[in-house]
Amino acid sequence: MIELQNVTKLYGKVIGVNDFTLKLGPGAYGLLGPNGSGKSTLLNLITGQLRPTLGTVRVMGQSPRNNAELFRRLGYCPGSEGLYASVSGYDWVRYLQQLQGMTAGEAQAAAAEALEMVGMAQAMHRPISSYSRGMRQRTKLAQALAHRPDFLILDEPFNGLDPVGRHELTEVLRKWIKHGKSLLFASHLLHEVESLTQSFLLICGGRLLASGTAQDVHAMMVGMPNEVALRCNDPHALASLLLREHAADSVRIEDSLLTVATQQPGRLFEQLPGWLKTSGLQVSEMHSADESLQALFNSLMKMHRGEL
Amino acid sequence: MGNVGAVFLFEWRRSLTLPRMAWWGMLAAFPVFIVALIRFTAYRSPPPSNWTWLFFALVPMLVSMLGTLLWTTPAISAELERRSWVYLAVRPNGGTAVLLGKYLAAVTWVIPPALLGLSIAVPLADTGDSWRIWWTMVRLLCLSCPAYGAIYLLLGILLPRRAMVLAVAYTLIFELVIAWVPAVINKLTIQYRLRAILVQWCDLSDIAVRPSGVLALIGDDPAWQHVVILMLIPPTLLLIAVAILRWSEFSASAESDV
């Protein structure tokens, strides 16, 4: 569905995307990265708004640049606001559907249906200037869904939504995915991506850091430094012990909580009970800080920055 | 073409707001106000040829230039500033449709107030040759609006971040200065063509027969030649504008052209 071959995008001397190679089949994918990581540049390349400085971009086997045929099958919800304040949500979505190639009648029906789908049926005839941020997000999503594209690209679609709104739109998108449609969902928040898909792409500094499922990335983390948090009656003594045994690369103490970074978590977990028994120290709580995808993301980011 | 029509109608609907209608009224009132000022304050009514030049300066020149400058120059830059461009650009031929639709909306928006102002101002002037002046100005208006609109649209695409500055600079340098330079370069301006047609259609022979310098200001080409050139300017410039638009990169994330 998407194929990027050694794609680099430069804005003058600034690198937007750096030697990006990627091949994705149909399905739902989360594009995860912090602000300024190159997510929007990547989406602009995929939607044909930008030309790669180097490399090639293919979407559904075609170049996306000025590609009318492809745009008929593509729905895009950008991160920027960009709505007309004085027109109603309904008029705006209808207008965009007419631009999509629908007749006036078809566009009216499609706009009404899409706005209802995202929960905007009540407010769709009000001017956009009177909408809350969440309502504007819903309207933006409606314009991307209305023509029933095969491939939906969303850039931070949950910005400004309250928890109820997030849940409702998550359900809309889950149904979308269930119908066999493809989705590329960019976000800087892990839980947003996790709520929709387990397949994700992690980017930073315009580079693809990791891709695959959460399990794939866990496998990549074997041998990488992990963080383990231990609540102990004497954290200073435990820290000293772990450093003496070369079981910790670094330690951090906050009150009674000792956080240990180690490249040998297996050895730590295996030998810790014996060390505690001989030293007489008591650990009341222990958990890996690296169990969530967020931790993987943090670790990969640190690796990328050379901090690990 | 359906997409162009959709943009055209959408832009027209958007134009029916109080501020924009106020601008519409000002464009219509401007020639009326100037003519009324001269008509009721001048010691003696100017000769018909002077009235003709005045109407030429007011309607096919000023109203047409001002109206199209305000409307077509920011056609794309306004969408970029508002960050709404990306929604349009990811539609099939969306950019082209927006460009052409906005152009048509602008031209059809500027001509009616100019026509209204002209239709009130010409009888008010009471020149004795009202019908011919009115009819000539209407035809010149229908030639000038599309031509100026296309030029300003193109300038707006060439430099979206400084569209208005570029358009005003073009107007001042080319249409108001170079157009009056008695040399071949003035043939590059719209005003030269319109002026040459005016002299022939209104039979301003007292100017046309003057030798040397004046001839360079109006030329000796037949009127039909100028009309053809003026009619060819809009499609040519629009084609160039579409080509530039399709070639350009407008990044939504950077909020500017890159």
Render each residue's pLDDT in chain A as its tens digit; 308 residues. 899 999 999 888 888 888 889 899 898 999 888 777 888 899 999 999 999 999 999 999 999 999 999 999 999 999 888 888 889 999 999 999 999 999 999 999 999 999 999 989 999 999 999 998 889 999 999 999 999 999 999 998 887 777 778 888 888 888 888 888 899 988 877 777 778 888 888 888 888 888 887 677 666 666 566 778 888 888 999 999 999 888 888 898 988 888 888 877 777 877 888 888 888 888 888 776 555 455 666 677 677 667 66
Q: Which of the four pLDDT bands, split at 50, 70 and 90, describes residue B257?
A: very low
Judge whether A49 is closer than 8 Å to chain B, CB to CB.
yes
Amino acid of residue B51 = W
Is B87 in contact with A78 (Cβ distance < 8 A)?
yes
**Which carries the bigger pLDDT value, residue B212 or residue A112?**
A112
Judge whether B76 is closer than 8 Å to chain A, CB to CB.
no
B247 exposure class (CB count in 10 Å sphere: 0-12, 13-18, 19+): exposed
Pick the closest to residue A214 from A225, A205, A228, A201 (CA basis): A201
Pick the closest to residue B73 from B81, B249, A80 (CA basis): B81
Judge whether A189 is closer than 8 Å to chain B, CB to CB.
no
Least CB-CB distance to B82: which of A82, A99, A143?
A82
ipTM of the complex: 0.86
Topology of domain A222-289 in CATH is Alpha-Beta Plaits (3.30.70)
Q: Which of the four pLDDT bands, split at 50, 70 and 90, describes residue B258?
A: very low
> What pLDDT, on a 0 to 100 scale, did the predictor assign at position B2?
65
Long-range contacts of A121-125 (CB under 8 A, 24+ apart): A123/A89, A124/A88, A124/A89, A124/A90, A124/A93, A125/A88, A125/A89, A125/A90
Q: Which residues contact B134 (CB under 8 A, 6 or more apart)?
A: B118, B119, B122
> What pLDDT, on a 0 to 100 scale, did the predictor assign at position B251?
65
For A105-126, how does the pLDDT look when each residue is reduced to its tens digit (9 = 90+)?
999 999 999 999 998 999 999 9
The class that CATH gives domain A2-213 is: alpha beta
Judge whether A143 is closer than 8 Å to chain B, CB to CB.
yes
Is B92 in contact with A100 (Cβ distance < 8 A)?
yes
CB A20 within 8 A of CB A4: yes
- Residues of A whose CB is below 8 A from B15: none
Is B94 in contact with A71 (Cβ distance < 8 A)?
yes
Residue A185, φ and ψ in degrees, nearest 5: -125, 110
Task: Give me A276's structure tokens.
Answer: 């505690």
For A5-28, how does the pLDDT look when each residue is reduced to its tens digit (9 = 90+)?
999 998 888 888 888 898 998 989
Side-chain-side CA neighbours of residue B136 (13 Å): 26
- Residues of A whose CB is below 8 A from B245: none
As a whole-number percent, the residues of chain B with pLDDT over 90 amount to: 67
Distance CA A11, CA A155 (A): 20
Q: What is the mean pLDDT of residues B53-60?
A: 93
> What pLDDT, on a 0 to 100 scale, did the predictor assign at position B174?
92
Question: Is the pLDDT score of B212 beyond 60?
Answer: no
- Cβ-Cβ contacts under 8 Å between A and B: the total is 95
> What pLDDT, on a 0 to 100 scale, did the predictor assign at position B218?
77
Side-chain-side CA neighbours of residue B166 (13 Å): 17
Q: Which residues contact A254 (CB under 8 A, 6 or more apart)?
A: none
Distance CA A137, CA A139 (A): 5
Q: What is the mean pLDDT of residues B101-105?
A: 96
> What pLDDT, on a 0 to 100 scale, did the predictor assign at position B24?
93
Give ranges for CATH 3.40.50.300 in chain A. 2-213
A3: helix, coil or strand? Answer: strand
The residues with which A3 forms a beta bridge, in sequence order, are: A23, A58
Q: What is the mean pLDDT of residues B153-166?
A: 93
Give ranges for CATH 3.30.70.980 in chain A. 222-289
Is A99 in contact with B94 (Cβ distance < 8 A)?
yes
A195-230 residues labelled b (16+ CB within 10 A) or e (exposed): bbbebbbbbbbbbbbbbeeeeebeebbeeebbbbbb
CA angle A88, A124, B71 (to 5 degrees): 10
> What pLDDT, on a 0 to 100 scale, did the predictor assign at position B255?
40
Is B92 in contact with A68 (Cβ distance < 8 A)?
yes
Distance CA B1, CA A296 (A): 51
Q: Which residues contact A11 (CB under 8 A, 6 or more apart)?
A: B251, B254, B258
Strand A2-11 versus strand A54-59 pairing type? antiparallel
A117: helix, coil or strand? Answer: helix
> What pLDDT, on a 0 to 100 scale, did the predictor assign at position B123?
92
Q: CA distances (Å), A300 to each of A20, A35, A305, B176, in order?
A: 17, 16, 9, 62
B12 exposure class (CB count in 10 Å sphere: 0-12, 13-18, 19+): middle
DSSP string, A9-47: EEETTEEEEEEEEEEE-SSEEEEE--TTSSHHHHHHHHT
List A residues 90-119 in contact with B (Cβ-Cβ < 8 A).
91, 95-96, 98-101, 103-104, 107
Residue A88 DSSP one-character state? B
Q: What is the mean pLDDT of residues B156-179?
A: 92
> What pLDDT, on a 0 to 100 scale, did the predictor assign at position B221?
85
> What pLDDT, on a 0 to 100 scale, did the predictor assign at position A289?
58
